[in-house]
Amino acid sequence: MASSVLGQALPRIDGPLKVSGSAEYTTDRIFENMVYAVPIGSTIANGRIAALDASQARAMPGVIEVFHRGNVGELYKASPKAGMIDETRPPLADDVIRYYGQYVALVVAETFEQATAAASCVKVTYAGVDAPNVALELSADDEPNEVDRRGDPAAAYEASPVKVDQTYVTPAETHNPIELHATVATYDGEQFTLYETTQSVFNHRNVMSEILGVPRENVRVIVKFLGSGFGGKLWPWPHDALAAAAARELRRPVKLVVTRKQMFETVGHRPRTQQRVRLSADRDGTLTSLRHESINDAGMLDEYDENCGEATPYLYGTPNLLVTSAQTRRNIGPPTAMRGPGAVPGLFATESAYDELALALDMDPVQLRLRNEPTRDQGLDIPFSSRHYVECLTLGSEKFGWSERSRAVGSMRKDGVILGWGVSGCSWLAARFDAEARVELLADGSARVAMGTQDIGTGTYTVLAQLVAEATGIPHERVVVELGDSRLPPGPTSGGSMVTASVIPAVLGAAREAMKSAIELATSGPQAPFAGRDAGDLRFAGGRIVARRGGKGVPFDAALRKASVSRVSGSGKGQRTFGQEHPKYSIHSYGAQFVEVAWQPEIARLRVNRVVTVIDAGRMINPRLARNQVEGSVVMGVGMALFEETRYDPRSGAPVNSNLADYVVATHADAPHIDVTFLDYPDTELNELGARGVGEIGLAGIASAIAAAVYHATGVRVRTLPIEIEKLLSA
């Protein structure tokens, strides 16, 4: 394949729409006769609804209806195989309140102002109110689940000369995409059309159809632009069902926008994790045992396993290992996947522990990691498809200037400020979801590719255009990309950094089939440009149909016009590798994070100055987009390390800092200088182009690298995130 567009840092094809306010996000939908819905959340976390008095609200101007358990209509549980949903109880299903903010009613009015005013006038009284369990200290409710085991880690630990045994905690975090979760639901008596903030139109359709009790064909889910989600928008949440139910009852389009406060209560969070890590090593740094035991909180009704040990079994070599996970129930809205679920909190713990081990060994932390580089995946006992972790570490060291590090705490200074340097490794899985695509070649010389996946900001629109351009030679500006609609061929969920890897076989397959059709068209019929020739003698290149022997050939669109057809099309399919029972290869991305922090003890000010990141994620389809993903992850990592924690009031169970002034995320001024390098080793075990995915890996390892740098600057080892000022005041 002639490589012209792949690997090019093309600007996004949807850029002009995004910068001009023309990109249509879910809440931008406005329909004739549309009404506004405002959900009401409970103000207790543990009890039940005794009475709900909506009389005053109903009498208010513009109010159309107040929905509650008695009048919302049937909402069912989706069957377990329908698809993914983290809160399986349908909204308003019973009067039991299990978490603060759980929806108890929905006000619908002609305008947003009227609906919000009325919502504040619905009186809800509660009974049987008990103290909520939102305790921070986690202990497993049931026997931990053994994720992986090899050798005899306890015995090896006892026998080893150098040990680390520490517990690390990552707090509840809220995704907080800047786009609020929302639904605009329409119902015409038979068909639901749901404009959703979803990272997965197909899962959403499948689950919502069961919740609404209608066939899948009767639900269409659309999301043309998504204001990101970071996992929070993977699966449906209760407001989706409420909006659809209101549209069903009222037969009017319903717009429901979840407030920022409600987003802390009702659309998931990264659960709190508590992770005990025990490491042991020989004096030369050889890892003799590794135990990683984690607990996370879950909601009162549903299971949620954060799986912090995701990367633990394969990242380093050791003969003796134990990985377990456990859950404990809390009166908190159910957790959900947040960017890099499992591995991100997990690597904070294990990579921090390696840093502590390096100290205990008096060894350079980069050297310690190099020492324990395995030759195969010791967890699954299979070879790696393509692993260049060592190069990430060594190249990162070089770029960062790691060799100039002076090891003693607080020993490095610049411009009167103490510098701290820290390093961490990172890793993230690479796999494919099922995906189908249709590619059409049009008689005007353009192409169209259709796939029911979403662009959540990662650049899927652009990547699809590049793939079609690559396969057909049609300029990428002439490729129209159609996404975000469950009427299109089923595409992958935007999750797990798997979209790019997943779409490649489907799109390339569809493009090839379409090109084949064009060639056949060019040979059939007396008027055809290659009439009478064998299709096998022709090929499609640079947007033209040409003879294999040579010659100029004809533009494909001329052949189409000659035949009086508007288009030829092809379908393509790619199969999932995600969740495969017996993989042949261990397929993962790797990286190294080097961080410099600045510490001014006289004013207790800590800032992250610069980050050098080297990522081994296969081939880059578009380095501009990929770099942006990694830079954005690093920024989120600064927030994770230093600021972010959803705090629950122990008395009411409410997330109390449920707004963007009290739940602090990184601003422009907090962003460090970020230097991203991609190693370019195509991983063709995953797909023919060798592209993996970069949506999450950049966040992994940032918090541990920052924590290591903070230790280096201050002498304070912070094992419970975030690293707030108060934890450093003793330094």
Partner 1 sequence: MNAFAFTRADSVAGALRAAGGDAKFVAGGTTLVDLMKLGVENPTTVIDISRMPLAGVSRMPDNGLQIGALARNADVAHHPDVVNGYPVLSQALLAGASAQLRNMATTGGNLLQRTRCVAFRDTAMACNKRSPGSGCAAIGGFNRNLAILGTSDRCIASHPSDQNVALTALEATVQISGPKGERSVPIGDFYLLPGDTPERETVLEPGELVTSVTVPPPAPGAKSAYLKLRDRASYEFALASAAVVAIVRGGTIERVRIAMGGIGTKPWRNLEAEAALHGKPATAEQFAKAAQIVLSDAKPQSQNGFKVELAKRCLIAALTTVTQGA
Partner 2 sequence: MSSQAFVSEAVAPTAPANAQPPATAPKVVEVVFTVNGNRLALVVDPRATLLDTLRETLGLTGTKKGCDHGQCGACTVHVNGRRVNSCLSFAAMHDGDEVTTIEGLGTPENLHPMQAAFVEHDGYQCGYCTPGQIMSAAALLSEPCGPSNADVAESMSGNICRCGAYQNIVAAIQSVRTQG
Structure tokens at 296: 């996370």
- Using the rule CB under 8 A, give the single segment among 363-371, 386-394, 596-604, 690-698 that binds partner 1: 596-604
65 is a site residue for partner 2 (CB under 8 A): no
Looking at 607, 610, 624, 717, which residue binds partner 1 (CB under 8 A)?
A: 607
Which residues, 569 to 628, sit near partner 2 by CB under 8 A?
624-625, 628
Query: 């954005």: which residue's tokens?
Result: 632
165 is a site residue for partner 1 (CB under 8 A): no
Give the whole-angstrom CA distance, residue 373 versus residue 315: 8
Q: Cβ neighbours of residue 217 under 8 Å, at least 6 residues apart?
A: none
178 is a site residue for ligand FES (CB under 6 A): yes
Of 576, 578, 451, residue with least CA distance to 511: 451
Q: How far is the CB of 12 from ligand FES (least distance, A)?
A: 11
What is the CB neighbour count within 10 angstroms for residue 443? Answer: 18
Cβ-in-10-Å burial (0-12, 13-18, 19+) of 623 comes to middle
Looking at 420, 457, 509, 639, which residue binds ligand FES (CB under 6 A)?
A: 457
Number of residues that bind partner 1 (CB under 8 A): 33
Comparing CB distances to partner 1, the nearer of 32 and 602 is 602
Measured CA angle at 613 (ends 610, 619), to 5 deg: 150
Which residues, 74 to 113, sit near partner 1 by CB under 8 A?
113
Comparing CB distances to partner 2, the nearer of 16 and 73 is 16
Q: How far is the CB of 348 from ligand FES (least distance, A)?
A: 24
Contact by Cβ (8 Å): 640, 721: yes
Q: How far is the CB of 225 from ligand FES (least distance, A)?
A: 10
661 is a site residue for ligand FES (CB under 6 A): no
Comparing CB distances to ligand FES, the nearer of 457 and 553 is 457
Which one of the listed residues 24, 696, 724, 726 is annotated catalytic?
696
- Using the rule CB under 8 A, give the single segment among 38-46, 177-185, 200-208, 409-417 that binds partner 2: 177-185
Q: How far is the CB of 599 from partner 1 (least distance, A)?
A: 13
Per DSSP, 312 falls in state H
53 is a site residue for partner 1 (CB under 8 A): no
Contact by Cβ (8 Å): 411, 440: no
Per DSSP, 181 falls in state P
Give the whole-angstrom CA distance, residue 349 versus residue 293: 10
Give the whole-angstrom CA distance, residue 642 versus residue 729: 14
Give the whole-angstrom CA distance, residue 536 versus residue 548: 9
Comparing CB distances to ligand FES, the nearer of 227 and 271 is 227
631 binds, among partner 1, ligand FES, partner 2, none (CB under 5 to 8 A by kind): partner 2
Q: How far is the CB of 456 from ligand FES (least distance, A)?
A: 9
Q: How far is the CB of 640 from partner 1 (least distance, A)?
A: 13
408 is a site residue for ligand FES (CB under 6 A): no
Give the whole-angstrom CA distance, residue 346 versus residue 425: 12
Structure tokens at 370: 């190099």
414 is a site residue for partner 1 (CB under 8 A): no
Using alpha carbons, list the distances in angstroms from residue 360 to 351, 355, 668: 14, 9, 37
667 is a site residue for partner 1 (CB under 8 A): yes
Structure tokens at 585: 């290869």
3-class DSSP state of 251: coil
Comparing CB distances to partner 1, the nearer of 629 and 658 is 658
Site string for ligand FES, 126-165 (x = CB under 6 A): ----------------------------------------
Comparing CB distances to ligand FES, the nearer of 257 and 287 is 257
Contact by Cβ (8 Å): 318, 290: yes
43 is a site residue for partner 1 (CB under 8 A): yes
Comparing CB distances to partner 1, the nearer of 68 and 727 is 727
Task: Determine whether 696 is an active site residue.
Answer: yes
3-class DSSP state of 436: strand
Contact by Cβ (8 Å): 370, 397: no
Q: How far is the CB of 85 from partner 1 (least distance, A)?
A: 28
Residues forming beta bridges with residue 329, ordered by sequence position? 298
Three-state secondary structure readout of 118-157: HHCCCEEEEECCCCCCCCCCCCCCCCCEEEEEECCHHHHH
- Using the rule CB under 8 A, give the single segment among 369-377, 457-465, 466-474, 596-604 that binds partner 2: 457-465
Per DSSP, 334 falls in state P
79 is a site residue for partner 2 (CB under 8 A): no
Query: 């949620």: which residue's tokens?
Result: 304
Which residues, 609 to 648, sit near partner 1 by CB under 8 A?
642-643, 647
Q: How far is the CB of 117 from partner 1 (least distance, A)?
A: 6
Looking at 37, 97, 117, 507, which residue binds partner 2 (CB under 8 A)?
A: 117
Contact by Cβ (8 Å): 544, 507: no
228 is a site residue for ligand FES (CB under 6 A): yes
Structure tokens at 171: 């707090």
572 binds, among ligand FES, partner 2, partner 1, none (CB under 5 to 8 A by kind): none
Looking at 427, 657, 704, 714, which residue binds partner 1 (CB under 8 A)?
A: 657
456 is a site residue for partner 2 (CB under 8 A): yes
Structure tokens at 506: 């489907």
Give the whole-angstrom CA distance, residue 659 versus residue 676: 31
Q: How far is the CB of 641 from ligand FES (least distance, A)?
A: 19
Structure tokens at 490: 């089923």
3-class DSSP state of 715: coil
Give the whole-angstrom CA distance, residue 708 versus residue 146: 29
603 is a site residue for ligand FES (CB under 6 A): no
Q: How far is the CB of 235 from ligand FES (least distance, A)?
A: 20
Looking at 95, 110, 302, 649, which residue binds partner 2 (CB under 8 A)?
A: 110
Strands 287-298 and 96-97: unpaired
Comparing CB distances to ligand FES, the nearer of 658 and 714 is 658
135 is a site residue for partner 1 (CB under 8 A): no
656 binds, among partner 1, partner 2, ligand FES, none (CB under 5 to 8 A by kind): partner 1
Comparing CB distances to partner 1, the nearer of 558 and 664 is 664
Give the whole-angstrom CA distance, residue 68 versus residue 78: 20
State the residues that interact with ligand FES by CB under 6 A. Answer: 178, 228, 457
User: Annotated catalytic sites, by residue?
Assistant: 696
